[in-house]
Amino acid sequence: MIRVALVAACLTIGLSAVVAQTNPIVERQNTMKSIGAATRDGAAIAKGEAPFDAAKVQAIFKTYSDSAKKMATLFPDGSQTGDKTTAAPKIWEDQAGFKASLAKFDSEASAASAAATDLASFRTGFGNVTKNCGTCHETYRVKR
């Protein structure tokens, strides 16, 4: 009996995990949108349009790191096409390279977060981390 209940529980957990991820394409696009929003906030600070705020800049870099970790799980087989994805086939052809690009983005965001104690250090770190956007998009995204 206990064994049956356990199996049933495992199945339920397994199923809800699948349901939660029914659409990895939409999920990764939303993740990238939050990266985009954080980048707009960061650019406003870097340009002096918004005041330097230590908590805010930490939150921006945290969004980058958290999103990078999440992105690594959002390109399962079968999600190559559909939902107007701009993900390039190269993501699946070179999964190690793509994951390495995400890991680089993540670690540079953490380093920039730790180093961003004032506006000048924020600008340097933010400039450095946001180079990853174009580099990755050029390689792993197609233009529509």
Binding site for ligand HEC (CB under 6 A): 25, 28-29, 32-33, 35-36, 39, 85-87, 101-102, 105, 130, 132-133, 136-137, 140-141
The C-alpha angle with vertex 38 and arms to 28 and 47, in degrees rounded to 5, equals 145
Query: Smallest distance from the beta carbon of 124 to ligand HEC, in angstroms?
Result: 15
Token representation of residue 142? 């197609």
Q: Judged by CB, which is closer to ligand HEC: 1, or 22?
A: 22
Residue type, 30: N
Answer yes or no: are the C-beta atoms of 85 and 79 closer than 8 Å: yes
Residue type, 64: Y
- Span between the terminal Cα atoms of the chain, in Å: 55
Query: Smallest distance from the beta carbon of 92 to ligand HEC, in angstroms?
Result: 11
Q: Judged by CB, which is closer to ligand HEC: 12, or 69?
A: 69
Query: Smallest distance from the beta carbon of 141 to ligand HEC, in angstroms?
Result: 5
Q: Name every residue whose Cβ is closer than 8 Å to that of residue 92 and which is 6 or more positions away in sequence.
A: 75, 77, 80
Q: Judged by CB, which is closer to ligand HEC: 11, or 69?
A: 69
Query: Smallest distance from the beta carbon of 136 to ligand HEC, in angstroms?
Result: 3
CA distance 7 to 5: 5
Q: Judged by CB, which is closer to ligand HEC: 14, or 134?
A: 134
